[in-house]
Amino acid sequence: MAWPYACRLLAAAALVFTLPPVGRPASDAAPPGGHAALVKLFQEWRAFEHPAMKGDVADYSAGAMAAKAAALRQWRRRLDDLDTRGWTIEEINDRKLVAAEMSGLDFNLRVLRPWARDPAFYVSIWSSRTL
């Protein structure tokens, strides 16, 4: 009795994966504040993600990290405010990836904190800049 159900389930899965993707055609322009806004936000995010600099030295002080944590709330709010109506699955997945990067920074700021706990962190930073 379970075998026919499994066959139907496999057939349905095969059908789903062989259908062409559904979404707006590539020729349609993205609505204002659409995926293009996510791309712009991501480019700005990558610049923000780098440590603040004091002269030629990265600033990992408690104050700099607290400021980064406070700013992270605003970045998440900007991401949450994007209107995703009409986005393709790929565009929604892009948004999820940006959210995952923000969660990763949050985890580093709250939990890992390698700049405060791991002396080897500074060696790895220095060696990556000299290569």
Express each pLDDT in 50-72 by its tens digit. 988 888 888 999 999 999 999 99
Q: What is the mean pLDDT of residues 106-113?
A: 94
- Which DSSP letter does residue 108 get? I
Side-chain-side CA neighbours of 29 within 13 Å: the count stands at: 3
pTM of the full structure? 0.68
> 3-class SS at 57?
strand
Whether 115 contacts 65, CB under 8 Å: yes
> Hey, what amino acid is at 18?
T
20-29 tens-digit pLDDT: 444 444 445 4
d(CA 25, CA 10): 29
